[in-house]
Amino acid sequence: MGDKTVKKIVPAQPASSILLVRDGTGGLEVLMIERAKTMRFAPGALVFPGGKVDTEDSQRWRWYRYLKHNRRIFADASCRIAAARELYEETNILLGDTNFADIAGTSLPFDKLLARGAVKLKLDEMVPFAHWVTPETMPRRFDTYFFLAADDGHTEKHDGVEAVAAKWYKPREILADWEDDKVPLMFPTRLNLMKLARSSTVASAMQAARQMPVVRILPRLELKDQGVNLTIQKAAGYDVTQASTKELKVEAPKR
């Protein structure tokens, strides 16, 4: 008899990421961080600030008083809070209504910083941009929401641990560097940069994001004779449906 064992699908952990954008001297720019080369996953890759949604991020009572418009409850509030928290932890940028210069240099945890500065988080100004889920065949999976937000004059830093650099980049220049093998990118990162590059200003990018429905993307991973094949549905709207070999190499966990 053949082996009818069905491999159990690992649940995808909730995660979120944020594309913080500004109008630079030469056009639209987005904040990205460079992952440390010592990281097991995607070492040296350029990524958007983000990470897993912590248990505390889902406790709405903890954050209610820090929301600028606390009468509006978002279904994805925990993901928005996680994105704002990760942005602060990785780049020292606080997405709130208080001038960070007034409370800077404290090195406080995210929630304590909000309390000290009486900050109101601007979750309502974060626009859903993309939704990616790790393929079901992977041993470690994430259900990641991407948000778009406009910067209002922050000074970025980096944590020096996971992120060794935090800089503003023009999406088209990063994509050109990727084509020339100058920077490593993961598949979702490249495609989200392609989507962002369709806009030349913050205003047009925000408008486009509000008008375009977000499609849940669950890539299909197959083993072929020629190697791994990773594809997404055409309905995702990226004009690209298959990952390149160099992207797959970046996403392969280091042993």
Q: pLDDT tens, 38-56?
A: 666 666 789 999 999 999 9
CATH number of domain containing 40: 3.90.79.10
Please indicate, yes or no, if residue 7 is contained in any of the structural domains.
no
Please indicate, yes or no, if residue 127 is contained in any of the structural domains.
yes
Task: Show the low-confidence residues of the chain (pLDDT under 50).
Answer: 1, 101-102
**Short-list 245, 136, 137, CA closest to 181:** 245
Please indicate, yes or no, if residue 1 is contained in any of the structural domains.
no
Please indicate, yes or no, if residue 8 is contained in any of the structural domains.
no
CB 205 within 8 A of CB 22: no
pLDDT (0 to 100) of residue 234: 92
CB 131 within 8 A of CB 215: yes
Half-sphere exposure of 106 (CA within 13 A, CB side): 18
Alpha carbon distance 2, 5 (integer Å): 9
Please indicate, yes or no, if residue 150 is contained in any of the structural domains.
yes
Domain count, the chain: 1
Please indicate, yes or no, if residue 151 is contained in any of the structural domains.
yes
Which amino acid is present at 95?
A: L
In the structure encoding, which two tokens stand for residue 116, read together? Answer: 């000290």
The kind and range of the H/E element at 224 are strand 220-224
Report CA torsion sign: 64, 65, 66, 67: positive
Please indicate, yes or no, if residue 64 is contained in any of the structural domains.
yes
What is the domain extent for residue 235? 13-251
Please indicate, yes or no, if residue 4 is contained in any of the structural domains.
no
Alpha carbon distance 180, 148 (integer Å): 27
